[in-house]
Amino acid sequence: MNGSGHRVAITGFGVVAPCGIGKEAYWRGLLGPGVTGAKSVEIADWDPSPWYASPKESRRADRVEQYAIAAATEAFTQAGEIGADPSRFGTIFATGIGGLHTLEEQIQVRLDKGERRVSPFLVPMMMANAPGAAISMRFGLRGPNETICTACAAGTHALGYAARLIAWGRCDAVATGGSECAATATSLAGFGNMTALSSSGISRPFDAKRDGFVMGEGAAVFILERWDHAVSRGATILGEVLGAASNADAHHITAPSPGGAGAIECMRLALDDAGLPPSGIALVNAHGTSTPLNDAAEAEAIATVFGARTVPVMSGKGVTGHALGAAGALEAAQVMLSIDKRLIPPTAGTTELDASLAIDVVHGAPREWTPGPAISNNFGFGGHNGSVIIAPAV
């Protein structure tokens, strides 16, 4: 991160998503067909037992926490024996909502059976910081343990903050990422009634017929380390966090600022943090939610920062749906896999690009590329903007 001190290495990551459990399955899912005919895309037949000592233990964790533990286990397994001082190993995690399924279920229990039947585990299961706290306890991480809850920008914000803690010398390693499991009947009703969800049940970012997002869920976890620490222990370095940025639109609770003004500034701040010119970016992993306003504003922002149709742009939400606070983490995993496979997945669901958008959207088929620095964007209700720049290990 430009002028900030230590380089930030990525030495492991793990993924849990509806299109695949584990990063290799996730990659195959990203190359597959998009979501069709659904308000939400969820993990079918989820079984938490591989990651818990007993059914009793797993029952005391909402799925948002279970997903985080599963993804973290894969990440730590890949990273190997890190050997960092536990007091300098942080957990910076993200969610948009937290244990909403548990909250909604227990509200119904109270209404049907009375308050004495409400579970004593309601609070630790529903609280937004539960996934990060569970990772910290499972892996004995005694450094900073903080949860970022900035709606759909949270995952990207967590990655950026975690990287800064390492760059500034506050931590030697950090487990970071995001998790979400919020497609309850009530949340879907709320998003639907505000016309944010696709009426067609199809997520098609930047398409001329886009009409809203499809709700997603899942988790992705990354192990970040001081570069010299990773080198000294002989770790395989998978990538590097070059820079990140966060700012606010200060415009509207749900709509982006006109012309993508906040997104423009956020991407420019991230480029400055990474010490890169716009021409140094080889891929834009867009927020690309499939909503009319967001896609138009983001496309204008991308064209303003990088030039019209000059850099490949992709969005994974045609496959994953919109996983809210986990979106930034899942999409950073897309960047890492695209670097590893030397292939940009197509933007699933998108068949007819909106002619008014001056960006080069990869769609229809994967595109080969020479991996280079990629910027991943996420923007959240409340006017939150986040960008992170991830590059191949060099």
Active site residues: 152, 287, 322
Sheet strands (E) in 229-298: 239-248, 283-285
The residues with which 146 forms a beta bridge, in sequence order, are 92
194 with 240: CB under 8 angstroms? no
Separation between Cα atoms, residue 12 and residue 80, nearest integer Å: 8
Sheet strands (E) in the chain: 8-17, 20-21, 89-94, 145-148, 173-180, 218-226, 239-248, 283-285, 312-314, 343-344, 360-361, 367-368, 374-380, 384-392
**255-281 per-residue burial string, b: 16 or more CB within 10 A, e: under 16:** ebbeebbbbbbbbbbbbebbebeeeeb
Separation between Cα atoms, residue 63 and residue 46, nearest integer Å: 9
Which runs of consecutive H residues, i.e. helices, occur in 114-244? 122-126, 130-139, 154-167, 185-193, 227-232
Closest of 380, 321, 324, 241 to residue 19, by C-alpha: 321
Q: Is 198 in a helix, a strand, or coil? A: coil
Separation between Cα atoms, residue 290 and residue 203, nearest integer Å: 6
